[in-house]
Structure 1
Amino acid sequence: MKLVFGLEADSRVYPDFPGPGPGVLDEEVVGPRGLVGLLELQLGLSGPTKSEAVRIAAYAAKLQIVLAERKTVFFAASFSRDPWATAERLLHWRDNLVLAGWAGTAIGTSRADDLAAAEAAGNPLPFGFADRLAAVQRALASKRTLRVIEIEVIELPSSLPPHINELFKALTACGVTLNQRPVGQVAATGNDLAKVSKFLKEATIDPLVGDGSFMVVQADTALMAAEAVAEWLAAGSEADLNETVILAPGGDTALLDGALLARGLPTLGQSASSPWRGALQVLPLAFATIWKPFNPKPLLDLLLLPKPPIGFGAARTLAYALSKEPGIGGKAWNTAWERIEARQVEKEAAKGHTDAEARVAKKFKRWQQWTTVGQYDRHEGIPAEAAKAIASRVAQWAFATNSAKNDPLLFAVAAAATALVDAITVIGRESLPALLIERMIEQVLAEGAENPNHIAQSGGLRCIRHPAALWGTAKRVIWWNFTGPGERVRPPSEPWSKEELEALEKAGCRLASSADIARQVSAAYVNAAFRTSECLLLVRPSLSGSDETTSHPLAHQLMPILKASDHREIWQAEQILASAATNLSSRNLARQLSPQASLPKSRKAWTLPAAAIAKVKEREESPTGLENLVNCQMRWLLANVLGLSAGRFAEIPDTDQLLGNLAHEIASHVFKPGNVPDKDKMRADVGRIFDELVDAIAAPLNQPEHAGELIRARVHVPSSLAHLADYLRSKGLEVVGTELPRTADLGDLKIAGRLDMLVKNPEGVLGVIDLKWSHSARRRLTEITDGRAIQLAAYGTIADASTAGTADGAYYLLNQRRLIGQEGGLVSEEEVEVDKDLSQTWLDLISTWKSWRDQAIAGNAIAGGIEGVPEPPAGIGIPADEKPCKYCDYTSLCRVSTKGS
């Protein structure tokens, strides 16, 4: 067997395999892990491997034993605060020592000897790469016969780490021949690429002439860079793709692939591994929901995943309920489960199952495990068995969901969850605090997963992820995203003092120094130039997303020759937008000017289709919808008639909305029909149910960042409701009900709403109180004064459908403890002088509604915020606000922001 060895040849390489033909037998290109794997097979040393998380857990258990035995170990303080991070760092140190030849024994220095004590403590540590390499070297010491007869090495010996050179010595002793692979030579001498290669080898500066063999492609954005590269590739022939290599160090070619696809070129299909892929988030979110105080945000994220762990429809129903009342056990949450159950029973019955309810009950038991939340204190932690049960549930869900689908993301989820179960078992703790669990989850997900939907297409174009993976000569190399900071590799010698390094070297353990690492990294960078024969393009965007990029280390290294050449080799990608033909590296990039389309202009008037008109005719109005209608007919049509959503399906409300919802719900619990309790009892009643309702409908307020608002609410809400109760008692008013649904049929106008509170005096006269939570009273005072209290007028009209007229109404501003209403009103503690009373406001509202509705039935829709809008139709009793678009979600449709276009 003949091998080609390179430090970065464990992933994609170019060429794909040795030899000139389309295939090869008994030859392979391998990196360190591939070489060790082959040798293990030939030496009979192969066996199952454990994840890095399990190894860290096992090492943490070892460190715990050492800490119990010797209190003065150097890692005592950090281990007590963060055992996982400490174990992870020390295991990295330990593996580097083993790679360098450490036998795991004491050498006479305190820190290394503490690690030696850990080596001997507890159960054996699962093998990592360093242990596997050491085992191979021990086996090779007996001069074993191998099938490997020759290894061709890409890197120079000076660029190889010490442990690889030691392995090669052992292989040579077993009869394996080592050959140094020559660096590729530039075909044409004297061109710019040859001059760059000579400069990198000998530091000899021969100014470049800009012949196109070496170019730096600069672009303002990565998108423009992708356009330029794709344009250049498209300008060549299909045969030219066969020896063209894209070097993408970040491993993500999504942006470039989009540009290639648009030109009919094969996509590269490379994506960076990420722990943030949708399905991978099930594991951290499943644990994020279990801590006290309960945070609804992770549960909402879990339910909104593309593949939630419960039925998709059920997950969306629960997510919507959680966004309305963020908590568990509230009215919206319980109603959502009832609705889900009814739908599921109906589905099972439709399938002909006579035991539909039993089937649904079994499914619900499984689903409700995912929504059992807020059980464990973050500091006291979760019992190990409970943690393993959650991880196992995630693994089972991934396996069940992946059934026969071969989804790599779900395979990754199952593997990560299984590794977490193993790690929890190995670490040997009865209870796991939140920080430790979170560290363990980060570790099992550290490798992440690639985008399964990003697929390479068949074609001659090749892609590699590291400049050292180019081991043969390529005619054309495009270094995509040629930006800094480059590789950041910590030298294994970094944590050790000079005295410790000397002691380790005496013990046969030589760690690579910073100079060794720098030499290795630098050799990989220049490798791309040395192994390119015709053309090397370095593509650097100035911006990556919104962040400014930095120069690559190789760019700094090339700076002397670039300066001496007056930057003749620099080509700006934006040129292709400025002219019909530009030249890049001997290729003409011809582009044709496309006709320019005008942006849509703002429209004042729209014509409604018949379906929209039909909806207008059959519509039942709400007080909120009537407010929208007064301000802008277009907004009313979009939001209330057509039900067009702004696109936010489910999100946790902000603090003010949570406080308002909480105060409303508390009021509905403590203001029972009949006589109003005195203020002291009211305070006691509110205090009694406050925490229960916070958990049920406003759980985010329990989070530490909202501690100030919650403390204030504990004082403010009881006082505010006690003040309202005291006023109602003083006026002799009693409560008819709270959260009362009311409807009224007024001929063409049908209206429905829900009254926050309805009260009456001893004579039976009704009054409506609308509860509001806001920072300022100005808006509500202005509404009442100007006769624009539309909601109060509507609620007053539907308060009692059996009587004509409009009942009195007032706003109770919970935050300010102010009950404001019109002068002489039944429920007005703070009387406001008005231009017109609520009865007149209602009459004006009816007239306004009829005018705009008639326009809609005639097929006309008017955008009220556009300059030059036609005069409103006759009969408008309440004009629109001066700024009707201030809080509108639909301005992008009528394009009110493009007034002058």
Structure 2
Amino acid sequence: MIVRFGLHADGLDPSPRTTTLGEIRLGPRGLLETLETDLGLPPVLDHPAAQVARYRSCLADANDFARFYHASFEVDPIGVSRQLMRWRAQWYEGGWDGRSHGDQPRLADMTAVEAFARERATPCVGQRLAAVAGALETRRTQIERLVLLDDPADLPLAWRRVVDAIGFAVHAGVRPAPSAVQNSDLARLQATLSESNATQPLEGDGSVLVLHAESRDVSARALAEYVGRSGLDGRVLIAERDGIVFDRALERSGLPRCGFQHRSRFRPVSQVPALALALLWQPVDPRVLLQFLLHPVAPLPWRVRRPLAAAVAERPGIGGPDWQAAMTHIEQTEAERGEASRTPADEIRYWLAAPRFAQDTGAPIDAIAARTKRCALWLERRRAVVGPLDERLYTAAISQCMALADALDRLSADGHARVPKPELDRLIDEAATAQPDASAFAQAGHLGATTHPATVVDPVDEVLWWDLAPQPSEPALPWSSSELAALASAGVNLPPPAERLRRRRQDWLRPLLNCRRRLVLVVHRSERGRHPLLGEIEHRCPGFRELDLDGTLLRDGVDALPQLGVHTPALPVRPPRPPQRWWSLPPHVALPARPVESYTSLSKLYDYPHEWVLRYLADLRPGRAANIHDRGLLYGNLAHRLFERFFDVHPGRSQWGGLSETDLRDWLDSNLARLFESEGAVLLQRGRGGDRQYVANRIEQALAGLLRHLHGAAIERVRSEVPQEARHPAFELRGTIDLLLTDADERRVVVDVKWGSEPYREREMQAGRHLQLATYAWLQRSAEGRDDWPYPAYYIVTTGNVVAPDRSVFPNAVVAPPETGESVAELWQRAEVTHGWRRAQLDRGLVEVPADGTEPDERSRPPQDGLGTPEGPDRFDDFRLLTGIDPAQ
């Protein structure tokens, strides 16, 4: 067997397609695994997270107050273990034998750790190579010929010992001589960069072309079109990062994909264990809970998660009335399905309502491990029913779960009983290795491509180096000069930064020197800085041909890209549709009346008809994940719920009339904490203590103030959150009255509770637009069949004030008398007129759109005896991007 071996050859192969037998190209991982198999050496199968856990155990056993890593290890054992593992791997690959040399304290500490690690830690690459080199002294492999794709002097010492034992030849393209067509810019560039300090201006003949672009997508599509027109043979593409963008451009151009991968730790399947474990902490994080419920895959079926997600978005927490209603709905629907064995309620309790633990003191390892293994069992069951593309992702997720379980078992064996949240997060990060996209694969006949320039060792007509981006600088070695001297005296070869930079430059020059006809470099302006190779070319060989890709594409009259020959037919400019004040629907599209309306829907119909159509007829709504309630909306909900709980147990003056301040405060202290847990858990998160105290103080003051207003108004009975419904000639109306009060004369008072915005409510009442109060008053009057209308008022939580038309009921109210002097009954009559006006428009297929960039016309003017319409668009319009974009903006 002939093996072509390179340090960067584990990825894509840019070599020309040839028909061979018994020849293979391998990188370090592939060759090491092949040699271990041939020589009968045991493979290393440990997950990376398990490797960190093993070495952490060794560090812990060797740790004392004198070790150099002691302080950092106490704070971040996972990070320290990973970093020292890297040091250990570098040393072994450089020729370390695991023993101390000299009197350097840190080297002595590492040697002390190695006394444990030699037996217990996972062998690193250097150790495995040492075992291979030892086995090669007495055994043979099936490798007949080894061809190096890198300079043997650039190989780490452990690798050099192995390839020396096998015997090797060096590929001619590793140290290429200039090969470009004579008297071309490319030939001049090759000759100049091959020398140390020479400079030579170029003539701009196009054999060296630099494309400047703003967008990766645009540049990738332009190059893909160029390759498609000029052919795939004789060209090599270099894309060191984001090659998947280029593959998509090839696909859009009808060309085969090269097989670039986009690896990510955030595949949906691999996120499930992390989300499940994040629910173990107290207090529960509603956003994590909502992510778990809305995730594409989860241990609970979607039919169960959907109603719970809606409840959490509305009332962020677990256990509130909305949550209980969702649970009841789930139990009913599951009973109708006839589900047996474990009930959904049991599964919900396990995944969502299991015991929770304080983040600082940590969760018991047994509880974490049990949950991790439960995830693995669910993944195993799912893997059996998914397709072949998803099967690999499930296998990887199962491996992550088992690696995490193994790490937890080792912590338990080391005497740890609990794991704090920060440490568990680090363990999860270690286990969550990046996974490839199973749908991204190379297609037959693709363009030669690579992710590393050093792999271009064969002569090629044209090199397309896409996204030539700035490179990170070589970091200084983390060891002192005396430590490096001690390591060197022990035979450990660790190349200094200058040597590593020299090797990187040789890697960058390799495709350039192996190029025969044209070198195309694509540079994106969005990058800060420039690639060192481009900087060297600009300095030593100015005058190369350049092309501004974006400017050329946008220039009028250009039908082809210069130097590339890619046709650029002009496309008509299609500006975004400007907003229109009216939508006119064709006759066959009906806008039917809804059988049931509420105040919210009626207010949209009267003021912003397009929102009524889109929300209630088209059923368009914002996504739940982006709509978890917080701030004013959440605070108002909490106040409503607390008032409801209070008046459920204190409905009459005899119950609340004699409460002292101490009694009220005790009741609030007992109920507020439970309320925050069940419906306001976002306020229990770290960093929200100030908000939580603010809300608690405001609600406490508001309840005390409300009771004072009730005393002053001689209220006898209070009902909260009263559901009502009544039949109107045009629709059925339903609503929930926040507070329904009854005084000694049996007069009804409807009070709507608002968190804030007292000045707005005053202006609204003065303008005769307090439609919400009129709606609730009509509902209560109709439900009871009474002739008199209930008295309307607002209660503002943040100020503790009642806003009312007069002081006939509440002596201490903030008075906002309607300017027209109309009663609430007359306001409702105007609302009925407005309803008929809007309904007639909809029946004719006309929908008014009061959006930015539009002006009202004659059709926008309401009837004289109807409600007035607000000026300007709705500040809370969820559909403003669907109504058009004003060109002036």
For normalisation by structure 2, the TM-score amounts to 0.92
Q: Is the 8 A contact 2:334 2:344 kept in 1?
A: no
Note the C-alpha offset of 1:91.
Answer: 1.2
Note the C-alpha offset of 1:562.
Answer: 4.1
Query: How has the CA–CA distance of structure 1 residues 468 and 64 changed in structure 2, closer, same or farther, with 3 Å as cutoff?
Result: same
Other-structure match for 1:842: 828
Note the C-alpha offset of 1:712.
Answer: 1.9
Query: How has the CA–CA distance of structure 1 residues 827 and 755 changed in structure 2, closer, same or farther, with 3 Å as cutoff?
Result: farther
Q: Does 1:760 align with 2:742?
A: yes
Q: Is the 8 A contact 1:810 1:827 kept in 2?
A: no
- How far does the alpha carbon of each residue in 1:422-456 deviate from its partner, in whole angstroms, 9 at most, with x for none? 122223332211111111111112x3112233344
Q: Identity rate of aligned residues, in percent?
A: 27
* Alignment gaps of 5+ in structure 2: none
Other-structure match for 2:20: 23
Alpha-carbon separation, structure 2, partners of 1:759 and 1:523: 85
Deviates more, 1:678-687 or 1:304-313: 678-687
Q: Does 1:413 align with 2:397?
A: yes
Other-structure match for 1:460: 446
Note the C-alpha offset of 1:745.
Answer: 1.3
Other-structure match for 1:550: 529
Q: Is the 8 A contact 2:709 2:810 kept in 1?
A: no
Q: How many residues align?
A: 864
Letter in 2 for 1:95: A
Query: How has the CA–CA distance of structure 1 residues 269 and 341 changed in structure 2, closer, same or farther, with 3 Å as cutoff?
Result: farther
Q: Does 1:480 align with 2:456?
A: no
- Aligned partner of 2:559 among 565, 581, 591: 581
Other-structure match for 2:724: 742
| Correspondence 1:374-413 to 2 at 5 A | 375-404=356-385, 405-406=387-388, 407=390, 408-413=392-397
Alpha-carbon separation, structure 1, partners of 2:723 and 2:140: 88
Deviates more, 1:707-716 or 1:258-267: 258-267
Other-structure match for 1:816: 799
Other-structure match for 1:625: 601
Deviates more, 1:265-274 or 1:98-107: 265-274
Other-structure match for 1:202: 195
- How far does the alpha carbon of each residue in 1:321-380 deviate from its partner, in whole angstroms, 9 at most, with x for none? 1101110111111211222222223233xxxxxxx3x33x44543343221356111121
Letter in 2 for 1:748: A
| Correspondence 1:338-349 to 2 at 5 A | 338-348=328-338
Other-structure match for 1:783: 764
Letter in 2 for 1:234: G
Other-structure match for 2:53: 57
| Correspondence 1:180-259 to 2 at 5 A | 183-184=175-176, 186-203=179-196, 204-236=198-230, 240-250=231-241, 252-259=242-249
- SS of match in other structure, 1:190: coil
Deviates more, 1:96-105 or 1:369-378: 369-378
Letter in 1 for 2:673: D
Note the C-alpha offset of 1:399.
Answer: 2.1
Alpha-carbon separation, structure 1, partners of 2:239 and 2:741: 71
Alpha-carbon separation, structure 2, partners of 1:418 and 1:689: 42
Query: How has the CA–CA distance of structure 1 residues 649 and 705 changed in structure 2, closer, same or farther, with 3 Å as cutoff?
Result: closer
Other-structure match for 1:498: 481
Alpha-carbon separation, structure 1, partners of 2:802 and 2:537: 75
Other-structure match for 2:519: 536
Q: Is the 8 A contact 2:255 2:446 kept in 1?
A: no
Other-structure match for 2:881: 892
Query: How has the CA–CA distance of structure 1 residues 812 and 868 changed in structure 2, closer, same or farther, with 3 Å as cutoff?
Result: closer
Other-structure match for 1:267: 257
- SS of match in other structure, 2:560: strand
Other-structure match for 2:570: 593
Q: Is the 8 A contact 1:9 1:31 kept in 2?
A: yes
Note the C-alpha offset of 1:814.
Answer: 0.6
Other-structure match for 1:353: none
Query: How has the CA–CA distance of structure 1 residues 511 and 368 changed in structure 2, closer, same or farther, with 3 Å as cutoff?
Result: same
Note the C-alpha offset of 1:81.
Answer: 0.9
Alpha-carbon separation, structure 2, partners of 1:851 and 1:347: 46
Q: Does 1:518 align with 2:497?
A: no
Q: Does 1:441 align with 2:422?
A: no
Note the C-alpha offset of 1:149.
Answer: 3.4
Note the C-alpha offset of 1:30.
Answer: 1.7
Letter in 1 for 2:165: A
- How far does the alpha carbon of each residue in 1:482-501 deviate from its partner, in whole angstroms, 9 at most, with x for none? 11135x5656xx12111111
Query: How has the CA–CA distance of structure 1 residues 639 and 234 changed in structure 2, closer, same or farther, with 3 Å as cutoff?
Result: same
Query: How has the CA–CA distance of structure 1 residues 103 and 22 changed in structure 2, closer, same or farther, with 3 Å as cutoff?
Result: same
Other-structure match for 1:333: 323
- SS of match in other structure, 1:537: strand
Q: Is the 8 A contact 1:601 1:898 kept in 2?
A: yes
Query: How has the CA–CA distance of structure 1 residues 40 and 644 changed in structure 2, closer, same or farther, with 3 Å as cutoff?
Result: closer
Letter in 1 for 2:796: L
Letter in 1 for 2:151: L
| Correspondence 1:121-136 to 2 at 5 A | 121=116, 124-136=120-132
Note the C-alpha offset of 1:604.
Answer: 2.3
- How far does the alpha carbon of each residue in 1:674-705 deviate from its partner, in whole angstroms, 9 at most, with x for none? 32513533333222111111100110100121
- How far does the alpha carbon of each residue in 1:574-599 deviate from its partner, in whole angstroms, 9 at most, with x for none? 313424333544x4222222334454
Alpha-carbon separation, structure 2, partners of 1:550 and 1:139: 48
- How far does the alpha carbon of each residue in 1:813-843 deviate from its partner, in whole angstroms, 9 at most, with x for none? 1111111111144357322232233222222
Deviates more, 1:691-700 or 1:548-557: 548-557
Query: How has the CA–CA distance of structure 1 residues 894 and 243 changed in structure 2, closer, same or farther, with 3 Å as cutoff?
Result: same
- How far does the alpha carbon of each residue in 1:715-739 deviate from its partner, in whole angstroms, 9 at most, with x for none? 2212211210122123221334111
- Aligned partner of 1:795 among 776, 784, 791: 776
Other-structure match for 1:2: 2
Q: Does 1:663 align with 2:639?
A: yes
Note the C-alpha offset of 1:273.
Answer: 1.0
| Correspondence 1:581-730 to 2 at 5 A | 581-585=559-563, 587-597=564-574, 599-608=576-585, 613=590, 615-616=592-593, 618-648=594-624, 651-672=627-648, 673-675=651-653, 677=656, 678=659, 680=661, 681-730=663-712
Query: How has the CA–CA distance of structure 1 residues 81 and 622 changed in structure 2, closer, same or farther, with 3 Å as cutoff?
Result: same
Note the C-alpha offset of 1:270.
Answer: 2.0
Query: How has the CA–CA distance of structure 1 residues 409 and 611 changed in structure 2, closer, same or farther, with 3 Å as cutoff?
Result: farther
Alpha-carbon separation, structure 2, partners of 1:841 and 1:831: 18
Letter in 1 for 2:529: T
Alpha-carbon separation, structure 1, partners of 2:351 and 2:13: 44
Other-structure match for 2:269: 279
Query: How has the CA–CA distance of structure 1 residues 159 and 106 changed in structure 2, closer, same or farther, with 3 Å as cutoff?
Result: closer
Q: Is the 8 A contact 1:655 1:701 kept in 2?
A: no
Q: Is the 8 A contact 2:171 2:457 kept in 1?
A: no
Deviates more, 1:144-153 or 1:605-614: 605-614
Query: How has the CA–CA distance of structure 1 residues 877 and 825 changed in structure 2, closer, same or farther, with 3 Å as cutoff?
Result: farther
Letter in 2 for 1:11: G
- How far does the alpha carbon of each residue in 1:217-265 deviate from its partner, in whole angstroms, 9 at most, with x for none? 11122222123212312321xxx21332221111x33433343333222
Q: Is the 8 A contact 2:129 2:159 kept in 1?
A: no
Note the C-alpha offset of 1:147.
Answer: 3.0
- SS of match in other structure, 1:581: coil
The RMSD of aligned alpha carbons is 2.4
Q: Is the 8 A contact 1:767 1:807 kept in 2?
A: yes
Alpha-carbon separation, structure 2, partners of 1:613 and 1:873: 22
Letter in 1 for 2:21: V
- Aligned partner of 1:860 among 846, 858, 875: 846
- SS of match in other structure, 1:588: coil
* Alignment gaps of 5+ in structure 1: 349-355
Q: Is the 8 A contact 1:217 1:573 kept in 2?
A: no
Letter in 2 for 1:127: P
Alpha-carbon separation, structure 2, partners of 1:157 and 1:890: 64
Letter in 2 for 1:856: L
Alpha-carbon separation, structure 2, partners of 1:649 and 1:79: 38
Alpha-carbon separation, structure 2, partners of 1:515 and 1:302: 49
Q: Is the 8 A contact 2:5 2:25 kept in 1?
A: yes
- How far does the alpha carbon of each residue in 1:395-414 deviate from its partner, in whole angstroms, 9 at most, with x for none? 22222222152313222211
Other-structure match for 1:851: 837
Note the C-alpha offset of 1:152.
Answer: 1.8
Other-structure match for 2:787: 804
